Amino acid sequence: MMLEIDHLTLRAGEFLLKEFSLSINEGECVALMGPSGCGKTTVMEAVCGLRAEGVLNGRISLGGEEITYLPPGARRIGLVPQDVALFPTLTVREQLEFGPKLHRWNREKMKSRVEGLASDLGLSDLMERLPKGLSGGEARRVALGRALSLRPRLLCLDEALTGLDEARHDEVLQLIREMIVREKVTALHVTHSRKEAEAISDRIVEMS
């Protein structure tokens, strides 16, 4: 089992998530669906370590290791948030190098990883651009590359395709699917769209 959420109860402001459990096998892509306000994003944030102070009960394990209270940076989880959140002052290259630089990868390893990702994601011609010069689809691809840069154990996609027009939406959806397979990464995909969930995921989990 790659990800195991076991009877997780947590408080996020006024919201209370009660006794939530979920298991994802290694290499599996699971879509988490449910009505607005049911706590999909909160679950994802808890998995990423962004809600650790709100955990009241239960545990989260990744690859057999308990990570419930582990700092986000120590979990090796890549996050593509809904609003993409590309760092506005960094170029595409700097976004992709951000994680590897923090982890003090050697120059060769980092260069090889960043150029490989840029090539796979079709970003090679955009490397010196700032986020404000990117289209919605390009920004999604950069955010995906940044999340994958450290070869994460789990990729979290939080409504990562919201706001794209139909053509870009299908193109990025296809790319995400390809990258998940190519990188052999386990993925948790939060979405409202059943079509999107069916296209990208091996299994759909409904939250109520």
Which residues is 79 bridged to in the sheet? 156
Cβ atoms of 189 and 203 within 8 Å: the answer is no
Q: Which of 24, 42, 75, 189 binds other proteins (CB under 8 A)?
A: 75
Q: Which amino acid is at 176?
A: I
| 58 is a contact residue toward other proteins (CB under 8 A) | no
Quick one: which segment of 28-36, 48-56, 106-114, 182-190 binds other proteins (CB under 8 A)? Answer: 48-56
Q: Which of 85, 119, 133, 178 binds other proteins (CB under 8 A)?
A: 85
| 151 is a contact residue toward other proteins (CB under 8 A) | no
Nearer CB in complex with other proteins: 77/172: 77
10-13, long-range: CB < 8 A, 24+ apart? 10/42, 10/46, 10/51, 10/54, 10/55, 10/56, 10/58, 11/54, 11/56, 12/39, 12/42, 12/45, 12/51, 12/54
| 163 is a contact residue toward other proteins (CB under 8 A) | no
| 133 is a contact residue toward other proteins (CB under 8 A) | no
| 190 is a contact residue toward other proteins (CB under 8 A) | no
Closest CA to 199 of 151, 163, 160: 160
| 149 is a contact residue toward other proteins (CB under 8 A) | yes
**What is the Cα Rg of the chain in Å?**
17
| Residue 170: CB minimum distance to other proteins, A | 25
Quick one: which segment of 44-52, 120-128, 161-169, 193-201 binds other proteins (CB under 8 A)? Answer: 44-52
Residue 155: φ, ψ to 5°: -110, 125
List the end-to-end C-alpha distance of the chain, in Å, as a whole number: 24
| 146 is a contact residue toward other proteins (CB under 8 A) | yes
| Residue 153: CB minimum distance to other proteins, A | 12
d(CA 60, CA 66): 6
How many amino acids of this chain bind other proteins (CB under 8 A)?
A: 26
- Footprint of other proteins on this chain (CB under 8 A)? 45, 48-50, 53, 71-73, 75, 77-79, 81, 83, 85, 87-89, 98-99, 102-103, 146-147, 149-150
